[in-house]
Amino acid sequence: MNQTAVKDARAFAEDLGEFVKSSPSSFHTVETVRTHLKNNGYVDLCEASAWTDIAPGGRYVVCRDGSIVAFALPVDASGTTPLRVFGAHTDSPALKLKPKSSITSHGFNQVGVEVYGGALFNSFLDRDLKLAGRLVLKSGEELLVETGPYLRVPQLAVHLDRGVNRDGLKLDPQKHLQPITGLGENGEHDVLADLAQIAGVNAEDIAGYDIVTVDAQAPQLIGSRKEFLASARLDNLLSTFAGMRAMAEHECAADGPIALFVANDHEEVGSASRSGAAGPFLEDVLARLYAALGASDEERRRAFSRSIVVSSDVGHSIHPNYVERHDPANHPVAGKGPILKINADQRYATDAHGAAFWARACALARVEYQEFVSNNAMPCGSTIGPITATRLGMTTVDVGVPILSMHSCRELTAVSDPYDLYRAACAVFSPEISANI
């Protein structure tokens, strides 16, 4: 990389850190993305209103809970104009507040939590955490709320767990992951009262909540030459940020595709929800969008058949301490560019046409990419790609950025990869490459 590129990549990584700071929960993320897109000419669409104002040349954003869709229409968009979709997800593994969450035990105030997604339990120990998410009042009004450093799950001292370094750490998610929030006697503390005070409402008015824990430490550049960004929620705010920036800067060309960005909630728990990728959100938006363009059912299906979904999520960089866990021939390395994800069992949706499209996008962006495939003895996770492909029938390719510490409370990416992913995302929307499927 030349010096300008290094500077651009570092500035982009620092912006990503700021994005993570302003997006501690999926609901905050939607608000951050929506605000950024609106500042770049996108107009809100409300699901409950008629979408009579949609017109070619317009840019729109739609939110549903912790998910968001934005699209930009070329001036000559018609019922057969295909889509270029860049997809990501807004949620991350976390501890999530239970009902009756204020507990007192032996002089300590604690909060009851359940585990959200495939969290690495140990990474939540001895880390200063905050709470973030949404409150819903009896009136139905929804408020975002975020505490400062508020809680911690203290690890048992080595003297009281003599075998831990030899035998490994064993954590019971019910007994051992309950965070402490303070000192006090029975009935004195009420986490909802604290959240209500921050939100400026009465605790008695809170009728529902979706609140998760998140690392209270700000993201920061680390390493001997600041090669890394250490941060909470890189999975998958990294892709969400890259897609949002590409979408904000995208200018539709006449005769070009419709650019669409989707970031779904609930990926970490299987995507099956009204806002998750297995739910109808994107399909609902597309049905209404094509109806507004005057498309018949047949025309919309013709458009879909020439559309492409690029589903972006983090992947595994080779770990220098565990090289044997990776495929012997495919060693993606953090800092060497985004990845194309391949899996025979369709845990990733990539097929030969999707791979060829990604190759064209990266070539246009002048981005080197790497290939990821699992060691056969280590089945990989999945992402929104195969689910979206199954729902919409569009050619889909799974891509991402190779990181370390995936599903840790604080993950690690090379500084250069998010910027390269963003450049490739810009190319995904470009009419200069053909979908050619």
- In the complex, the residues that contact Zn ion under the rule CB under 5 A are 235-236, 313
In the bound complex, what is the minimum distance in angstroms from residue 413's beta carbon to Zn ion?
13
CA angle in degrees (0–180, nearest 5) for 63-67-71: 60
Q: Measured between alpha carbons, how far is 6 from 11 in angstroms, rounded to an integer?
A: 9
In the bound complex, what is the minimum distance in angstroms from residue 385's beta carbon to Zn ion?
11
Looking at the Cβ atoms of 265 and 420, the one nearer to Zn ion is 265
In the bound complex, what is the minimum distance in angstroms from residue 162's beta carbon to Zn ion?
36
Looking at the Cβ atoms of 101 and 405, the one nearer to Zn ion is 405
Give phi and psi for 16, each to the nearest 5.
-60, -40
Looking at the Cβ atoms of 94 and 292, the one nearer to Zn ion is 94
The amino acid that residue 180 corresponds to is I
In the bound complex, what is the minimum distance in angstroms from residue 117's beta carbon to Zn ion?
9
Strand boundaries in 164-282, DSSP class E: 180-183, 206-215, 220-222, 228-231, 258-264
Helix H segments across 77-177?
164-167
In the bound complex, what is the minimum distance in angstroms from residue 31's beta carbon to Zn ion?
20
Query: How many residues are present in the chain?
Result: 437
Element (H, E) at 362: helix 352-365
Any residues with CB less than 8 A from the CB of 167 and at least 6 apart, and which? none
Is the torsion defined by CA of 349, 355, 361, 365 positive or negative? positive
In the bound complex, what is the minimum distance in angstroms from residue 119's beta carbon to Zn ion?
12
Exposed (0-12), middle (13-18) or buried (19+): which is 370, by Cβ within 10 Å?
buried
Looking at the Cβ atoms of 42 and 116, the one nearer to Zn ion is 116
Looking at the Cβ atoms of 147 and 236, the one nearer to Zn ion is 236
CB-based contact 86:243 (threshold 8 Å): yes
Looking at the Cβ atoms of 34 and 316, the one nearer to Zn ion is 316
In the bound complex, what is the minimum distance in angstroms from residue 145's beta carbon to Zn ion?
24
Looking at the Cβ atoms of 60 and 121, the one nearer to Zn ion is 121
Q: Measured between alpha carbons, how far is 354 from 341 in angstroms, rounded to an integer?
A: 10
